[in-house]
């Protein structure tokens, strides 16, 4: 399962979460005032990126049973602030924070049990923690629990309830749920195949920067599913998926830009540069030999037309894209 916090939590999102957890609405208990004040010095150090000092202060409060401090210590290990990422340690701290009734930690602990990270793998315990998080207001955990209900595993299958939870999450803007609903409607999984519903859900998810949804949505426009083909829109969504590091979109995006280049009379430089960028990204990122060969063949065609002086700068841009964390 993929977390709703795709690729783990990002630094900017952490501060939004932290602010949310300073409110009674986000906490499942009445200790927020008692917890917030003692960790304020640690939070200030964290804002200044003084990670070792901040972690020490957070740990001091965490050992006193401060759930907010426990959650923050988990995030240090989860995100690798001032240290290598250590998901096993993160999950152990999420366990403590969840036991202290931190809803966000409950959701993360569910993922730990689901993946068997730092804890014994258990779909049943993962489901229980997702449900607890959802009941405490973490709507992102709803579809995580719902999907487990729809699968044939150690939890009794309940398609109706599972779908209801995912639809509720999708309606409240949870990108992961919107993306799943779009795919399920598109493929006829769990739901009767319905391209209009698939298109609607995928459009919402793609608008919120879901790369996988953008890739599937591009196929609607490229193939003319339920509409006339629109190659301009198809390229727009293929490139959105590629920009979101959805590697399956790299080669198609490159090929479409190359096609435009061969037909265009204006803006040829930009089209040629983009053809090279995405073809090179495909050649580096794709693991299967067939697509690598196609990417290499396309690169050879592009480089015949491309001024050699461009290569160094464009290669740097490709590396920046492939190594830079997603926003």
CA–CA dist 119, 181 (Å, integer): 30
CB–CB of 256/250 below 8 Å? no
Mean pLDDT of 38-60: 96
Mean pLDDT of 183-195: 94
Compute CA 107 distance to the chain's CA centroid, rounded to the nearest angstrom: 15
Residue 102's nearest CA partner among 92, 110, 94 is: 94
- In whole numbers, what is the pLDDT of the chain averaged over residues? 90
pLDDT tens digits, 64-74: 999 999 999 99
CA–CA dist 212, 245 (Å, integer): 9
Q: Helix, strand, coil proportions of the chain in percent (round to 5)?
A: 75, 0, 25
Instruction: Provide the b/e sequence for 127-146 (b: ≥16 CB within 10 Å).
Output: bbbbbbbbebebbbbbbbbb
Query: What's residue 2's pLDDT?
Result: 37
Residues of the chain with CATH 1.25.40.10: 1-120
CB–CB of 298/283 below 8 Å? no
Calculate what percentage of the chain has a pLDDT beyond 90.
84
Calculate what percentage of the chain has a pLDDT beyond 70.
90
Range from 100-114, 152-166, 275-289 carrying the lowest mean pLDDT: 152-166
Query: What's residue 326's pLDDT?
Result: 76
Confidence category of residue 10, pLDDT binned at 50, 70, 90: very low
CA–CA dist 174, 189 (Å, integer): 19
CA–CA dist 252, 274 (Å, integer): 12
Is residue 234 over pLDDT 50? yes
Mean pLDDT of 137-152: 94
CA–CA dist 97, 104 (Å, integer): 9
CA–CA dist 125, 193 (Å, integer): 32
Query: What's residue 99's pLDDT?
Result: 96
Range from 1-10, 28-37, 221-230, 266-275 carrying the lowest mean pLDDT: 1-10
CB–CB of 141/149 below 8 Å? no
Confidence category of residue 13, pLDDT binned at 50, 70, 90: very low
Confidence category of residue 14, pLDDT binned at 50, 70, 90: very low
Whole-prediction pTM: 0.81
The residue written with tokens 């493929």 in the block is 187
User: Looking at the domain 1-120, which fold is it?
Assistant: 1.25.40
Query: What's residue 32's pLDDT?
Result: 58
CA–CA dist 279, 271 (Å, integer): 12
Query: What's residue 266's pLDDT?
Result: 81
Q: Please list, in sequence order, all residues whose beta carbon lies within 8 angstroms of the beta carbon of residue 143, skipping any fewer than 6 positions away.
A: 165, 166, 169, 170, 174, 176, 177, 180
Helix (H, G, I), strand (E, B) or coil at 244: coil
CB–CB of 31/67 below 8 Å? yes
């Amino acid at each position: 399962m993929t977390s709703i916090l795709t690729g783990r939590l990002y630094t900017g999102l952490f501060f939004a979460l932290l602010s949310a957890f300073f409110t009674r609405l986000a906490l499942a208990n009445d200790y927020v005032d008692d917890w917030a004040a003692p960790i304020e010095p640690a939070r200030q150090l964290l804002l200044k990126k003084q990670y070792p000092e901040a972690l020490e202060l957070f740990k001091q409060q965490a050992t006193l049973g401060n759930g907010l401090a426990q959650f923050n210590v988990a995030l240090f290990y989860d995100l690798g602030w001032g240290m290598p990422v250590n998901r096993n340690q993160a999950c152990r701290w999420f366990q403590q924070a969840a036991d202290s009734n931190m809803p966000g930690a409950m959701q993360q602990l569910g993922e730990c049990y689901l993946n068997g990270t730092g804890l014994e793998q258990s779909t049943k315990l993962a489901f229980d923690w997702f449900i607890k998080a959802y009941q405490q207001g973490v709507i992102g955990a709803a579809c995580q629990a719902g999907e487990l209900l729809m699968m044939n595993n150690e939890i009794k299958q309940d398609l109706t309830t599972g779908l209801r939870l995912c639809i509720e999450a999708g309606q409240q803007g949870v990108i992961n749920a919107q993306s799943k609903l779009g795919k399920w409607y598109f493929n006829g999984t769990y739901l009767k195949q319905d391209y209009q519903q698939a298109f609607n859900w995928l459009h919402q998810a793609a608008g919120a920067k879901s790369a996988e949804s953008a890739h599937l949505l591009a196929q609607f426009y490229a193939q003319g599913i339920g509409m006339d083909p629109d190659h301009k829109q198809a390229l727009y969504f293929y490139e959105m998926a590629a920009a979101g590091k959805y590697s399956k979109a790299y080669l198609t995006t490159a090929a479409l830009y190359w096609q435009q280049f061969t037909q265009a009379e204006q803006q040829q430089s930009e089209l040629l540069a983009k053809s090279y960028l995405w073809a090179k990204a495909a050649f580096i990122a794709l693991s299967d030999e067939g697509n690598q060969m196609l990417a290499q063949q396309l690169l050879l065609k592009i480089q015949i037309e491309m001024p050699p002086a461009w290569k160094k700068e464009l290669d740097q841009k490709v590396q920046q894209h492939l190594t830079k964390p997603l926003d």
